[in-house]
Amino acid sequence: MVKIFTTNNTTILVSSSVSSAITEQWFCPDFWRQQQALVDAKQGRATAWFFSYQGLVAVLKHYYRGGLIGRLLSDQYLFTGIEKTRVYQEFALLESLKNKGLAVAEPIAAKIQVSKLIYRGDIITKAIEGATSVREILQNRELNEDELEKIAVTIAEFHHFGAYHDDLNINNILFDSYGKVYLIDFDKGELREPDMIWQNANMERLKRSFYKEAGKWPTFHFTDAQWQSLYEHYLQAR
User: What pLDDT does residue 68 have?
Assistant: 60
Q: Please enumerate in sequence order all residues whose Cβ is within 8 A of that of 79, keeping only pairs 6 or more positions apart, or say none.
A: 85, 114, 116, 117, 118, 119
The predicted model scores a pTM of: 0.93
- Burial of residue 51 (number of CB atoms within 10 Å: 0-12, 13-18, 19+): buried
**Does residue 21 or residue 205 have the better pLDDT?**
205
Positive or negative: CA dihedral 101, 105, 109, 111:
negative
pLDDT band at 72 (very low <50, low <70, confident <90, very high): low
Asked if 156 contacts 162 with a C-beta cutoff of 8 angstroms, the reply is: no
Please check whether the two domains, 3-126 and 132-237, share a CATH topology.
no
Tell which CATH architecture fits domain 132-237: Orthogonal Bundle (1.10)
Asked if 172 contacts 104 with a C-beta cutoff of 8 angstroms, the reply is: no
Whether 185 sits among the annotated catalytic residues: the reply is no
HSE on the CB side for 81, CA within 13 Å? Answer: 3
User: What pLDDT does residue 139 have?
Assistant: 97
User: What pLDDT does residue 71 have?
Assistant: 59
Asked if 155 contacts 168 with a C-beta cutoff of 8 angstroms, the reply is: yes
Q: Domain limits of the chain?
A: 3-126, 132-237
Could you give the 3-state DSSP secondary structure of residue 7?
strand
Q: Is the pLDDT of residue 183 over 90?
A: yes
HSE on the CB side for 149, CA within 13 Å? Answer: 4
Q: Tell me which CATH code domain 3-126 carries.
A: 3.30.200
Kindly report, residue by residue over 104-125, the tens digit of the pLDDT: 999 999 999 999 999 999 999 9
Q: 167, 176, 185, 224: which is the annotated catalytic residue?
A: 167
Kindly report, residue by residue over 7-41, the tens digit of the pLDDT: 999 999 999 888 778 999 999 999 999 999 999 99
User: Distance between CA 144 and CA 205 in Å, rounded?
Assistant: 21
